[in-house]
């Protein structure tokens, strides 16, 4: 445990010292502010475009903007947020492999399990802090402008997308541990996610595939209940654990450059 905490402390200090943590936090705050802003200006944009659209034979109907529109925008922007975190974390292993900075730790008795789990926790913390910061910024802006009571369910879709992000990070860490190149690790990750996304297009199994968690836009209207998500929570949890175990085993058996 001492080795794990020591290496975790080192990772946290590096995240802060490089400025990467602050930049990511700023990005999430900006995304959180953009959600209500885009919802707020949409009627204005539509009004400006209505004349040219009507000349083209397209009739636009102006509707009242509510907090729901902002939350819809929130879930539309989440893939961008997750991609940013994935790219930011892609150098966690490659940077160490390139500079050979892991070798002194291993030779001093720090286990590879402690190293891998410290990096995994850093990625988890980055996603957790960033995600819920973005959610809270969106929530308070929506509360100020409209009132969130118009939204049927706020927490279920938020928790679903949060879990999906953790699940993707588990796959990423496994992929990054296999190679000394962050680009190759990202390519392997993309292949994994695309294959799983493709599996989610089959009607009979789509409710069990973790990509099912990303239906925040539809869930926010209360179309799904917590009980409807139990099966995908179980599958996501078990598969995430398997990816994590596989990542640990791969890293343990990997020869450090």
CA dihedral 71, 74, 75, 81 (to 10 degrees): -160
pLDDT tens digits for 138-188? 999 999 988 888 787 788 889 999 999 999 999 999 998 888 778 888 888
Question: Which positions ≥6 away from 155 have C-beta within 8 Å?
Answer: none
pLDDT tens digits for 227-247? 778 889 999 999 999 999 999
Q: What is the CA radius of gyration of the chain?
A: 21
pTM higher than 0.95, yes or no?
no
Listed by start position, the domains of the chain span 2-253
* Rounded percentage of the chain residues whose pLDDT exceeds 70: 87
**Are the C-beta atoms of residues 82 and 216 closer than 8 Å to each other?**
no
| pLDDT at residue 40 tops 90 | no
- As a whole number, mean pLDDT of residues 113-124 equals 92
- As a whole number, mean pLDDT of residues 212-218 equals 78
**Are the C-beta atoms of residues 163 and 213 closer than 8 Å to each other?**
yes
pLDDT tens digits for 54-96? 555 555 555 677 888 889 899 999 999 999 999 999 888 887 8
Chain centroid offset of residue 5 CA: 25
| pLDDT at residue 135 tops 90 | yes
């Amino acid at each position: 445990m001492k080795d794990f905490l020591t290496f975790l402390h080192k990772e946290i200090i590096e995240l802060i010292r490089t400025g990467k943590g602050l930049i990511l936090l700023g990005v999430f705050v900006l995304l959180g502010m953009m959600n209500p802003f885009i919802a707020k200006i949409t009627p204005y944009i539509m009004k400006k475009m209505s004349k040219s659209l009507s000349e083209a034979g397209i009739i636009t109907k102006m509707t009242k903007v509510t907090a729901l529109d902002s939350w819809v925008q929130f879930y539309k922007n989440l893939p961008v947020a997750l991609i940013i975190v994935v790219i930011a974390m892609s150098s966690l292993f490659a940077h160490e492999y390139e500079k050979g900075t892991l070798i002194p730790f291993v030779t001093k008795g720090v286990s590879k399990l402690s190293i891998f789990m410290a990096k995994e926790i850093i990625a988890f913390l980055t996603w957790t802090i960033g995600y819920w910061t973005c959610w809270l910024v969106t929530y308070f802006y929506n509360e100020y402008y409209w009132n969130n009571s118009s939204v049927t369910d706020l927490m279920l879709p938020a928790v679903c997308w949060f879990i999906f992000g953790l699940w993707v990070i588990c796959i990423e860490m496994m992929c990054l541990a296999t190679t000394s190149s962050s680009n190759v690790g990202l390519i392997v990750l993309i292949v994994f996610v695309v294959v799983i996304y493709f599996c989610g297009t089959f009607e009979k199994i789509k409710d069990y595939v973790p990509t099912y968690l990303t239906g925040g836009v539809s869930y926010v209207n209360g179309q799904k209940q917590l009980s409807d998500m139990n099966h995908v929570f179980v599958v996501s949890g078990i598969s995430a654990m398997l990816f994590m175990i596989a990542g640990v085993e791969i890293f343990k058996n990997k020869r450090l450059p």
